[in-house]
Amino acid sequence: MALKGTIKDFGVADIFQLISQQGKTGVLVFSNDVDEVRVYFKDGSVVRASNTLRTAQMLLGSLMVRAAVLTDEQLQNGLREQQRTLKRLGAVLVELGYVTDELVRDFATLQMTETIYQLFEWKFGTYEFESVDVEPSPEGVVPIRAETIVMNGIRMTDEWPGIRERIPSYTWRVEALRPLPEVEEKSASISDEFDFSGLGESASDHTAYNAIGSFERTIFELITPTRTVQELIDLSRLGEFEACRALSTLMTEGYVRVIKPAPIEEDQPAPRVPPGQRLRRVGGIFGRIVVSAGLVVVGAMLAGRAVAFVGGKNSVSDLTFAPRPVERRLAEAQMHRLRRAIEVYRYERGAYPTNLDRLVEVGLLRDDDIRFPYEAPYFYRVTGESYQLLPPVH
């Protein structure tokens, strides 16, 4: 029997659990309106993962640059050599002497786990498993038991809402308030992010006995007067959830606080989104949507003319009156585009935008996109962990 269906009927955790119990080998594909994620299993364990809409910040080279183990110049050299040799970037960077095999494996593991754990936040979509031969990770990533992914995924799902309430935006600056107690702790590494050999206990679970564990110390030691939450996530190499969880613990214990950046003056342009914070594929996706919308517009114009001439009239007022149903069609296409931009914003910043103008400020949309084809902007409101998006009343 084929393993496929919808996430609403059969959750991500249940799917992983079933594949693990049956020791299956193959590719599990998750799809929704925003992304497609492929998870590769070997005998019930995860060995690789990829997604169509991978953010620039989640590319292997970008992860290394933002973690300060690779410079921009070294990355560009590596990319040029990769283009010349057609080898994988990790292998090229090792050959150039910029990084070690161990570092490549660690960052490939981080890239894989970050891709997979985003699935536990999906509210809708489909899945389908195909039994095919699967090769091990070329970067040498150690297979992760699906049970471990399930346990950690559930833990993340339970704790994320409270963490996000404490950390509204990754652009906020972090300030140390008082020093940590002098307790020797083992420093955290990427391989400690999750307990890949156990059944869901992460390396920081000892914090149940001591609120300040190795992850909290890693984050605290990285704090400077100018660093933001996002920079701490990048430099810590712990992954988004573990870094934010550690920061939240430090906030709860009174060791640090997050500070909202000063508001942008009206006569100043909105800041450019830093490299690595945008989606390389957004332009292509939005471009296809624009082309589709353009075709709808052309069809609407032709339909309007046909209706006008069939009625025996050809005045401008007659032609512009007809497309009320077409306006609704355009609005449906535009709302689909807006939803993509909203999800892209959430993926990059960890929370939904407070209003549609934020999508314009960060460069994901133009000003007229938040109202096309109407004069008034679309209705948008954040509701807890979701949002409402409706056409304007007119």
Render pLDDT for 337-363 as a digit per residue (tens, 0 to 9): 788 788 778 766 778 899 999 888 887
pLDDT-derived band at 83, boundaries 50, 70, 90: very high
Mean of the per-residue pLDDT values for the chain? 79
Q: pTM of whole model > 0.75?
A: no
Q: Are 60 and 154 in contact (CB under 8 A)?
A: no
Q: How many CA atoms lie within 13 A of 325 on its CB side?
A: 6
Residue 41: enclosing H or E segment and its boundaries? strand 36-42
- Please state the φ and ψ torsions of residue 193, each to the nearest 5 degrees: -55, -45
What is the distance between the alpha carbons of residues 390 and 381, in angstroms, rounded to a whole number? 9
Render pLDDT for 138-193 as a digit per residue (tens, 0 to 9): 999 999 999 999 999 999 989 999 998 999 889 999 999 999 998 664 544 444 44
What is the distance between the alpha carbons of residues 244 and 321, in angstroms, rounded to a whole number? 53
What is the distance between the alpha carbons of residues 14 and 391, in angstroms, rounded to a whole number? 36
pLDDT-derived band at 288, boundaries 50, 70, 90: very low
| Mean pLDDT of the 280-291 span | 44
> Which of residues 125 and 329 earns the better pLDDT score?
125
Q: How far is CA 23 from CA 19, 45, 129, 145, 146, in A?
A: 6, 8, 13, 10, 10
What is the distance between the alpha carbons of residues 107 and 20, in angstroms, rounded to a whole number? 24
CA 310 to chain centre: 50
The per-residue pLDDT for 263 is 67
pLDDT-derived band at 261, boundaries 50, 70, 90: confident
What is the distance between the alpha carbons of residues 203 and 188, in angstroms, rounded to a whole number? 8
- Residue 284, SS3 per DSSP: helix
Angle ∠(143,205,16) on CA atoms, nearest 5: 35
Q: Are 114 and 15 in contact (CB under 8 A)?
A: no
> Which of residues 335 and 127 earns the better pLDDT score?
127
Render pLDDT for 104-139 as a digit per residue (tens, 0 to 9): 999 999 999 999 999 998 888 999 999 999 998 899
pLDDT-derived band at 63, boundaries 50, 70, 90: very high
Range scoring the smallest mean pLDDT among 34-43, 99-108, 310-319: 310-319
> Which of residues 329 and 175 earns the better pLDDT score?
175
pLDDT greater than 70 at residue 272: no
- Residue 258, SS3 per DSSP: strand
| Mean pLDDT of the 283-308 span | 44
- To the nearest whole percent, how much of the chain has pLDDT over 70? 73
What is the distance between the alpha carbons of residues 150 and 13, in angstroms, rounded to a whole number? 5
The per-residue pLDDT for 67 is 94
